[in-house]
Amino acid sequence: MRAVVYRGANDLRLETVPVPRAGPNELLVKVAVCGVCPTDIKKIRYGTVPPPRIFGHETAGTVVRVGARIRKFRVGDRVALHHHVPCLSCHACRHRAFAQCAQYKRTGITAGFEPAGGGYAEFVRVLPFVLPGVVKIPARNSFLEGAMLEPVNTVLKAVKRLSLLRGDTLLVAGQGPIGLMFTRLLALRGMNVLATDLLQSRLELATEFGAKWAVSPKSKVQSPKPGAKRFDVRCSALSAFVLRVTRGRGLDAAVIAVPSDAVVREAQQLVRGGGQVLLFSHTRRGDQAALDLASICVDEKDLLGSYSADFTLQREVARLVFSRKLDVRRLVTHQFPLEQTAAAINKASHPAIDSLKMVVGSG
86 binds Zn ion (CB under 5 A): yes
Cα separation, 194 vs 192, whole angstroms: 7
Q: How many CB atoms lie within 10 A of CB 163?
A: 12
Which CB sits closer to Zn ion, 234 or 282?
282
Size of the site for Zn ion (CB under 5 A): 6
Residue 47 Rama label (left phi>0; alpha psi -120 to 50; beta) = left
d(CA 240, CA 225): 9
| Rounded alpha-carbon distances, angstroms, from residue 300 to 191, 242, 346 | 21, 19, 40
Q: Which of 14, 41, 90, 199 binds Zn ion (CB under 5 A)?
A: 90
Q: How far is the CB of 182 from Zn ion (least distance, A)?
A: 15
Q: Which is nearer to Zn ion, 90 or 199 (CB)?
A: 90
Pick 36 or 194: Cβ nearer Zn ion: 36
Q: Helix, strand, or coil here: 158?
A: helix
- Contacting range for Zn ion; rule: CB under 5 A; set: 48-56, 101-109, 232-240, 352-360: 101-109
Q: Which is nearer to Zn ion, 88 or 199 (CB)?
A: 88
**Nearest distance from residue 55's CB to Zn ion, in Å?**
10
Q: How far is the CB of 40 from Zn ion (least distance, A)?
A: 7
- Binding segment (CB under 5 A) for Zn ion, from list 59-67, 99-107, 203-211, 324-332: 99-107
Q: How far is the CB of 86 from Zn ion (least distance, A)?
A: 5
What SS3 state is found at 90? Answer: coil
Are 212 and 362 in contact by the 8 Å Cβ rule? The answer is no
41 binds Zn ion (CB under 5 A): no
Binding flag, residue 87, Zn ion (CB under 5 A): yes
Q: What's the CA gap between 172 and 336, in Å, rounded?
A: 29
Q: How far apart are CA 245 and CA 239, in angstroms?
A: 10
| Cβ proximity to Zn ion, 40 vs 197, nearer residue | 40
Residues numbered 238 to 257 that lie near Zn ion (CB under 5 A) are: none
CB of 37 to Zn ion, least distance (A): 3
Least Cα distance to 118 among 22, 211, 213 occurs for 22
d(CA 195, CA 214) in angstroms, rounded, equals 5
108 binds Zn ion per the rule CB under 5 A: no
Least gap, CB of 116 to Zn ion (angstroms) = 12
Nearer to Zn ion, 101 or 162 (CB): 101
Q: Between 90 and 235, whose beta carbon lies closer to Zn ion?
A: 90
CB of 189 to Zn ion, least distance (A): 22
Of 340, 317, 359, the residue nearest 61 (C-alpha): 359
Shortest gap between Cβ of 25 and Zn ion (angstroms)?
Answer: 19
Indicate which single residue of 60, 93, 152, 342 sits in contact with Zn ion (rule: CB under 5 A).
93
User: Would you say 249 or 334 has its CB closer to Zn ion?
Assistant: 334
Among the residue ranges 94-102, 118-126, 192-200, 350-358, the one whose residues contact Zn ion (CB under 5 A): 94-102
Rounded to a whole number of angstroms, the minimum distance from the CB of residue 245 to Zn ion is: 32
CA distances from 97 to 105, 256, 279, 283, 295 (A): 12, 20, 16, 17, 26
* Strand ranges in the chain using DSSP code E only, listed in sequence order: 2-8, 11-16, 27-35, 58-66, 78-80, 109-110, 123-126, 135-136, 169-173, 192-196, 213-215, 251-256, 271-279, 302-305, 332-336, 357-360
Question: What is d(CA 73, CA 141) in angstroms, rounded to the nearest whole number?
Answer: 18
37 binds Zn ion, rule: CB under 5 A: yes
Phi, psi of 345 (to 5 degrees): -65, -40
Which of 101, 251, 271, 338 touches Zn ion by CB under 5 A?
A: 101
Q: Which residues contact Zn ion (rule: CB under 5 A)? A: 37, 86-87, 90, 93, 101
